[in-house]
Amino acid sequence: MKFRGKIIDVACLNHFTRKSHICSKTLTKTCVLRLTPDNLFFILSEKVANGGVSMWCELAQANFFDEYQMEGVTQEDNEICLEVAPENLARALKTLQNAKALKVKLTKKHCPCLTIPTLSTVSRVVMHDVPVDVIPRKLWHEFKEPHMPNFDVSIYLPPLKTLKNVVDRMKNLSNFLVLEANMSGEMNLKIETDLVSVTTHFKDLGNPPWGEDGSQRDSDAMAQARLDVRRLQQFLMGQQVNPTKALCNLVHQRLVHLILLHEDVSLQYFIPTVA
Amino acid sequence: MDCVVTGGNVKVLAKAVHSLSRIGDELYVEPQEDGLALRSVNSSRSAYACFLFSPQVLKFCVCTNSTKQHKLSVQSVFRSLATLEKTVEKCHIKLDEQKSRLTFTLHCKHGLVKTHNLSFQDSESLQAVFDKDSSANIFRAQPRLLVDTVVHFPPSLEEITLSVSDDRMWFKNHVEEDAEPSKAMLTELCLSSDEFDHFSVQTQNSITFCLKELRGLLLFAESTGLPISIHFDEPGSPVVLSVTDSVLDGNFVLATLSDENNTHKRNSRSCTQPLPPPDDFMNDDMDSYLIAMDTSIVPEPSVTASAPLARAESSKHSSVNHRTQQHSEDENETDETDHTAGPPNKKFCSLFFGSVLPPPSQMSTQPITTQEVLASDSEEETQLE
Amino acid sequence: LNMPLSTQSQTDDEFYVFVATLDNARNLSNLLKAIAFKDHAIFTATPNGLKVTVEDSKCMQANAFIQADIFQEFTIKDDLVGFQVNLTVLLDCLNIFGGSTVPGVSTALRMCYVGYGYPLTLFLEEGGVVTVCKINTQEPEEPIDFEFCSSNVTNKVILQSESLKDAFSELDMTSEVLQITMSPAQPYFRLSTFGNSGNAHYDYPKDSDMMELFQCTKTQTNRYKMSLLKPSTKALALSCKVSVRTDNRGFLSLQYLVRNDDGQICFVEYYCCPDEEGEEE
């Protein structure tokens, strides 16, 4: 099992820092980094049954790395699966803001580590050893790409910054929020407490075409999901860069599936409903 | 004492008070023949700092030489550095021993006058004994070099380890003894001797000390643009960080972890071990560092695993695997982790005898040599053994 | 002005006793922030405008005044309409879109009230997105009358806020009181604190260029609870001038002149009782 990568292009480097921030800014203690010859995946898989969220973030390595070499566990299973604390990774990448180049390599130090030497603008090497746990093959099945749920409504999201502002304020007022949307491009966020009820109406959002349109659904009928506001905040946190596409699939009273597509990164996020 | 500080010197004074307040809540003020001494010590007596301002700073200073020094809390005077810089034109300091009162009068723009009357307690002389000039290792650097260095470490980090060889200096974060090794992230960076104004090493070794106080001094040094000197001998004896120019002299004396403690550290490099070569960033050969991990990380035929194992299992596997490579060192250290970790400062030696502590069992009226001070503190380590 | 909601709510207007619209909701929310130290806020609307009152322990009262002409529309069907709402909730609603300070981006507001027992309804719109908030109201309590009248004012100074901001930002909070001395002679205008580490005095000479007006007739020294005065720092921060007045009973009035995003002038006023335990030095 070997892995090393190198980014020398400053534009790529900034790009990578930004994108890995998107992945690392989640509130969870650990996430899984899966390396394949073509892609890097950041995966979060809490048990949906326990109200946990799951996340699937895919980066095409060629868009970031100037050099990228890996040897997986075996020839057939040419992959590496690591458990890593996003907080540590974020810290190592934080100092990148004024760096010139970056390397990532899998090393064995006091424990298995992702060793990340960065070259600062004053040509100083700063070395970070981020401890990782190597995940054995028998557990890999937990980190496969999630299935697209059989959704009732699929809709494009409004600008994420607006969404974030609204959700942040709603969080001040209530712990739970109802997200509803229909196939006429309308989406509402609602909260209701003893003191206040607030509804934000988004319209003309558009509904993505998913091919066969055989559903008999009334286009004005709302699909609803009641969510823990913090889960939605978690998703919106660190989304400073507007994605090329952002959409939301709703399974009525069951699940919200959020997808962000940047040119070379895709992020999927699953939030279960609460009663 | 009655003196006036004007213009830019007010700012310097205020910055000094601020960096002293990073160490302890109370300030010890002692008017001296050769100026004004401001001192501070932390609660566990493992860090001490002193600024001596020469009479050139303190214009029109009438100093009645007092044998006493005065302990007081002075932060309120210089609470806001930003407004201070913009508004204060003159600072008048007056000591009234009769009334046990130290008065700071700040004359500000628009005729505003701020008067702070601070009550104080007389105290024994607070003076750490150190002799930085005989240190084995002496360095001097521009503040920016050290500021750029500490910026890589998180604000929450308590201690930092500094190692030196003939031509390099390494900084790395110090990991608490009770920290789980597989969770501890390590950050390390290397400075080359030519980045320093002065670099002289007699003993290649490592010391570990608190980062908070260093940051405090850096605040001061950066704003005044004064180079910082670093003096130290060996683990367990204090490191002295100092700034100096024609009108002021600042010394921060920080206890370092003793060697005993240090070598128990799973991640600390013992000073006898060779330091690693710096990472040759641009020109490394791919295979030279591609450390093959055990591909046998899944040695058991995974198909036979009938029930899905708990996630924890996976980390167990990996640690078993690397123990075989990392030999016995690991096991020794595993025992160490059982030690209940006290508050971080416990590990450091006090820099003083009883001088400032209420019950002075040994009165230290005479200067004591550095060695004696440190020898007296080894109790804690003996208990550890 | 181009409030997409105005058409849809026109029909409802006849039900409302009070309707007010603002092109920029910040012109309301900023002023409310300056008095937001307690949840309960009493709204009093008259044809002259809107007054919002917040009180603390019967010893302190803050009022924000927004004149009718600040609003693009201000319709009131009675001489006086009053209700009480939770100010924290109201502020979160007014800032639902983030309260952007970017020029050209603002939240339009339409605020409507049907009457007793009905919620205060806010329609907010920014960039085509509409938020509707219904905030529960309560019957208004009678605000305390501090009987502070200008004919009883003993001492008065008007200062540029800049000079007081400095002092208030570094007040020694270990002091239980803030003592204010106003006098025709030295020290003219003095703020004092008595904290754990010692006391401090801030003296403003009467001829300072920060002093716009100095009318002190009699030396007066009064103490006010620090905890009561501290919230006024928010108003101070927003304001450009402040008038400090004391009357013959030692009551304090602080009037802050606040300029909003559109350069219009509004007022925030704080009243505070003197601290009875504290005696003059």
Mean pLDDT over A128-141 rounds to: 89
Tokens of C235: 């108003």
A153-272: CATH topology: Proliferating Cell Nuclear Antigen (3.70.10)
Query: Which of A95-109, B127-141, B370-384, C191-205 shows the lowest per-residue confidence on average (mean pLDDT)?
Result: B370-384
Mean pLDDT of chain A: 85
pLDDT of residue A96: 64
pLDDT-derived band at B294, boundaries 50, 70, 90? very low
Residue B24 lies in a domain: yes
Q: What percent of chain A has pLDDT over 90?
A: 35
Residue B198 lies in a domain: yes
Residue B337 lies in a domain: no
Cβ atoms < 10 Å from Cβ of A210? 12
Instruction: Find which of A100-114, B89-103, B235-249 is predicted with most confidence, using mean pLDDT.
Output: B235-249
Q: Give A131's contacts in chain B (Cβ within 8 Å).
A: 181-185
Query: Which of A205-219, B11-25, B52-66, B83-97 shows the lowest per-residue confidence on average (mean pLDDT)?
Result: B52-66
Give yes or no: residues B181 and B247 share one domain. yes
**How many Å lie between the alpha carbon of C134 and the closest alpha carbon of chain A?**
5
The reply to whether residue A162 touches residue C130, judged by beta carbons under 8 angstroms, is no
Give yes or no: residues B140 and B280 share one domain. yes
Mean pLDDT over C191-202 rounds to: 91
The neighbours of chain C, by the rule of 3 or more Cβ pairs under 8 Å, are A, B
The neighbours of chain B, by the rule of 3 or more Cβ pairs under 8 Å, are A, C
pLDDT at C215 over 50: yes
Instruction: Find which of A169-173, B376-380, C206-210 is predicted with most confidence, using mean pLDDT.
Output: A169-173
CB within 8 Å of A68: residues ≥ 6 apart: A4, A5, A6, A61, A62
pLDDT at C178 over 70: yes
Q: What percent of chain B has pLDDT over 70?
A: 60
CATH architecture under which domain C4-135 falls: Box (3.70)
Alpha helices in B100-200 (DSSP H): 143-150
> Between residues A139 and B82, which one has the greater pLDDT?
A139
pLDDT-derived band at A19, boundaries 50, 70, 90? low
Q: Give C136's contacts in chain A (Cβ within 8 Å).
A: 194-196
pLDDT at B297 over 50: no
Query: Which of A20-34, B285-299, C67-81 shows the lowest per-residue confidence on average (mean pLDDT)?
Result: B285-299
Residue A49 CA from chain centroid, whole number: 19
pTM, rounded to two decimals: 0.80
B363 in reach of chain A (CB within 8 A): no
Domain boundary among B123, B147, B173: B123
Domain boundary among B102, B123, B144: B123
Residue in B80, B112, B113 nearest the CB of C170: B80
Rounded to whole angstroms, how far apart are CA atoms B167 and C74? 76
Name the closest residue on chain C to residue B86, using Cα atoms: C166
**Inter-chain contacts counted by CB atoms under 8 A, chains A and C:** 61
pLDDT of residue A178: 98
> Between residues C181 and A10, which one has the greater pLDDT?
C181
Q: Which amino acid is at B48?
A: Y
Domain A2-143: state its class.
alpha beta
The reply to whether residue A136 touches residue B317, judged by beta carbons under 8 angstroms, is yes
Domain boundary among B123, B150, B178: B123
Name the closest residue on chain C to residue A197, using Cα atoms: C134
CB within 8 Å of A117: residues ≥ 6 apart: A102, A103, A125, A126, A127, A128, B279, B281
Give yes or no: residues B116 and B152 share one domain. no
Listing DSSP states for chain C in one string gives ---HHHHHHHGGGGG-SEEEEES-THHHHHHHHTT-SSSEEEEEEETTEEEEEEEETTTEEEEEEEEGGGSSEEEESSS-EEEEEEHHHHHHHHTTT----STT---EEEEEE-STTS-EEEEEEETTEEEEEEE--BPPPPPP-----GGGEEEEEEEEHHHHHHHHHT--TT-SEEEEEE-SSTTSEEEEEEETTEEEEEEE-TT-TTEEEEEE-S-EEEEEEHHHHTTHHHHHHHEEEEEEEEETT--EEEEEEEE-TTS-EEEEEEEEPPPSS----
Residue in A172, A200, A204 nearest the CB of C92: A172
pLDDT of residue B368: 33
Query: Tens of pLDDT along C91-126?
Result: 999 999 998 778 888 999 999 999 999 999 999 999
pLDDT of residue B361: 35
B74 in reach of chain C (CB within 8 A): yes
> Which DSSP symbol is given to B347?
G
pLDDT-derived band at B126, boundaries 50, 70, 90? confident
- How many domains does chain B contain in total? 2
Contact A89, A104 (CB under 8 A): no
pLDDT at B284 over 60: no
Residue B213 lies in a domain: yes
Contact C67, C104 (CB under 8 A): no
Name the closest residue on chain B to residue C165, using Cα atoms: B83
Residue B137 lies in a domain: yes
Give yes or no: residues B22 and B81 share one domain. yes
> Between residues A45 and B231, which one has the greater pLDDT?
B231
Query: Which of B20-34, B117-131, B179-193, B247-261 shows the lowest per-residue confidence on average (mean pLDDT)?
Result: B117-131
The reply to whether residue C96 touches residue A198, judged by beta carbons under 8 angstroms, is yes
Residue in C163, C198, C209 nearest the CB of B119: C198
Mean pLDDT over A18-24 rounds to: 64
CB within 8 Å of A75: residues ≥ 6 apart: none
Residue B160 lies in a domain: yes
Name the closest residue on chain A to residue C122, using Cα atoms: A198
pLDDT at C22 over 80: yes
> Between residues A13 and B271, which one has the greater pLDDT?
A13
pLDDT at C77 over 70: yes
**How many Å lie between the alpha carbon of C97 and the closest alpha carbon of chain A?**
5
The reply to whether residue A127 touches residue B181, judged by beta carbons under 8 angstroms, is no
Residue B196 lies in a domain: yes
The reply to whether residue C128 touches residue A203, judged by beta carbons under 8 angstroms, is yes
**Domain limits, chain C:** 4-135, 150-272
Name the closest residue on chain C to residue B74, using Cα atoms: C197
The reply to whether residue A136 touches residue B297, judged by beta carbons under 8 angstroms, is yes
pLDDT at B25 over 70: yes
Domain that holds residue B93: 2-123
Given CATH 3.30.70.141, say whether it is the number of domain C150-272: no
Contact B111, C211 (CB under 8 A): no
> Between residues A240 and A154, which one has the greater pLDDT?
A154
Mean pLDDT over A32-41 rounds to: 90
**Domain limits, chain A:** 2-143, 153-272
Mean pLDDT over C165-178 rounds to: 88
pLDDT of residue B351: 61
Mean pLDDT over A151-164 rounds to: 93
Here the CATH number for the domain that contains residue B350 is 3.70.10.10
pLDDT of residue B349: 60
> Between residues C143 and B78, which one has the greater pLDDT?
C143
pLDDT of residue B326: 36
Please, which residues 135-194 of chain C have a Cβ atom closer than 8 Å to chain A? 135-136
CB within 8 Å of A59: residues ≥ 6 apart: A19, A20, A39, A40, A41, A42, A264, A265
pLDDT of residue B342: 37
CB within 8 Å of B325: residues ≥ 6 apart: A108
Give yes or no: residues B64 and B145 share one domain. no
Query: Which of B145-159, B181-195, C1-15, C177-191 shows the lowest per-residue confidence on average (mean pLDDT)?
Result: C1-15
Mean pLDDT over B352-373 rounds to: 35
Q: Give A157's contacts in chain C (Cβ within 8 Å).
A: none
Give yes or no: residues B244 and B117 share one domain. no
pLDDT-derived band at B28, boundaries 50, 70, 90? confident
Residue B306 lies in a domain: no
pLDDT of residue B35: 82
pLDDT at B379 over 60: no
The reply to whether residue C200 touches residue B83, judged by beta carbons under 8 angstroms, is no
Rounded to whole angstroms, how far apart are CA atoms C119 and C133? 9
> Between residues B335 and B224, which one has the greater pLDDT?
B224
Query: Tens of pLDDT along A56-67?
Result: 888 888 888 888
Identical fold at A2-143 and A153-272?
yes
pLDDT-derived band at C281, boundaries 50, 70, 90? very low
The reply to whether residue B281 touches residue A117, judged by beta carbons under 8 angstroms, is yes
Mean pLDDT over A77-81 rounds to: 90
Helix axes A160-173, C87-94, angle to 10 degrees: 170
Identical fold at C4-135 and C150-272?
yes
> Between residues B256 and B344, which one has the greater pLDDT?
B256
The reply to whether residue B187 touches residue A128, judged by beta carbons under 8 angstroms, is yes
Tokens of A110: 């006091």
Please, which residues 149-168 of chain C have a Cβ atom closer than 8 Å to chain B? 163, 166-167
Query: Which of A199-208, B319-328, C138-147 shows the lowest per-residue confidence on average (mean pLDDT)?
Result: B319-328
pLDDT of residue A26: 58
Give yes or no: residues B55 and B97 share one domain. yes
Give yes or no: residues B255 and B160 share one domain. yes
Mean pLDDT over A189-216 rounds to: 88
pLDDT-derived band at A214, boundaries 50, 70, 90? low
> Between residues B247 and C238, which one has the greater pLDDT?
C238
